[in-house]
Chain A
Amino acid sequence: MASAKAVKQRIRSVKNTAQITKAMEVVSATKMRRSQEFAIKARPYAIASLNLLRNLVTKTKELPGILERREKKECYGLLVITSDKGLAGALNANVIRKAEAWIKMRRANNENSILVTVGKRAKDYFEHKGVPIHKSFWGFGDMISLSETLPVAEVLMEGFLDHTWDEFSAVYTHFRTTLLQEAVLRKILPITQEGVEEIVKGVIPEYGKFSSKPYTLNPIPYHYEYTYEPSPEALLTELVPQLLRMHVHHMILESNASEHSARMVAMKNASDNAKELITDLTLTYNKARQASITRELSEITAGKEALESN
């Protein structure tokens, strides 16, 4: 059995760790609530822009390049969104696994693929693996504005328009509930109506404080004629990129909210484990202490008896 002193030292170090994980848990809980709220605020905007897009698309004969579906696809792109920091359970591992499966599938079909990464985790991982990366982004904070995520969307659009890739997908963490986040793969370019509807649905968490308002995306029948200033084509070429920017922004926000809740859960588990460990160690410590007392007592008694028998 370990000495009482050694056990005591271990208890102290475990207590310190528990304190840190507890603090991280509380911080993540706050951050999670905030980023969730932040993602929710964008909801009316998302819904309104979808309605407008649907309306414009039905009135336009010539779709802008970003809506074009190409028959022949030469290169596929993938946007991988992870966090910058670890200690968030299986969050990043899940995203990376999904991305790996995608790359494997492309390779199996003999198709070209290229990555764009967001977050240090994805960048480090794929750089180490030697997977070609077109561009990497990292260092996004919690309360990012649209202008900060704009370069990501611009890169995706440029690449699509100059035929660097003909289809673009994204892997990110979909925030379903506080306890449940899942890595999802979604097609983002070319922009389709179904794709946009998915984004809007994704804005709302399924349970919890922010899931309150049930919301339906029933198309409003636009039976009347609109006047367009300047023209539907000109409006579409401005609205569609804006929508993509919003989409990318939203995916990053959602991954961010997921990161915080995943970390909160991971840290809660760590704190619970530490507590359990402390209970076990305290028991061991008490046993060791008791053993040493018994030993000392028997030594004294033995000594006394030896003296008396003389």
Chain B
Amino acid sequence: MKLGIYTLQGTLFEGDIKQLTTTTTVGEVTILNHHIPLVSRLVGPIVRLVDTSEKESIIKITSGFLEVHEQGEVVILAE
């Protein structure tokens, strides 16, 4: 699935990923392919993601919004 992490200062990440784990106001979520459409508020402090070549990376955010589209597109508005 496609992931885009945007902030006002620039784009932090844009590309294909396999898995994404982060914390929302109601708890931790992991998003895999074919996740149901979801909108939620993120509290940070990190977004952990696994890209298509199995490489894990961590992106720091302080807060933000998460939006999962039906077609497997994830948008994170981070701060």
Contacts and interface: CB of A to CB of B under 8 A. Distances in A.
Interface of A: 41-42, 44-45, 48-49, 51-52, 55-56, 145-146, 220, 224-230, 232, 234-235, 238-239, 242, 246, 249
Contacts of B9: 41-42, 145
B4 interface: yes
12 contacts: A41-B8, A42-B8, A51-B67, A52-B75, A52-B77, A56-B39, A146-B79, A230-B26, A235-B41, A238-B41, A239-B65, A242-B65
Interface string B37-79: 1111100000000000000000000000101011000010101
Contacts of B4: 44, 48
A44 B11 contact: yes
- From DSSP, what is the main secondary structure of chain A's interface residues? helix
A45 B8 CA distance: 6
A226 B38 contact: yes
Interface residues of B, number: 23
Contact of A146 (B8, B10, B38, B65): B8
A52 B38 contact: no
Contacts of A242: 65, 77
Contacts, number: 73
A142 to B, nearest CB: 14
B72 to A, nearest CB: 12
Given A51-B67, A56-B39, 13 more contacts: A41-B11, A45-B7, A48-B6, A48-B75, A220-B69, A226-B37, A226-B38, A226-B39, A229-B40, A235-B39, A239-B65, A242-B77, A249-B8
B36 interface: yes
B24 interface: yes
Nearest to A220: B69
Closest 6 CB pairs of A and B: A229-B40, A45-B6, A41-B10, A44-B6, A226-B37, A42-B8
Given A41-B10, A42-B9, A227 B67 contact: no
Given A48-B75, A49-B77, A229 B6 contact: no
Contact of A229 (B11, B25, B70, B79): B25
B37 A235 contact: no
A229 B39 contact: yes
> Which of B11, B25, B67, B77 lies at the interface centre, i.e. has the most chain A CB atoms within 10 A of its CB?
B77
Interface string B12-33: 0000000000001110000000
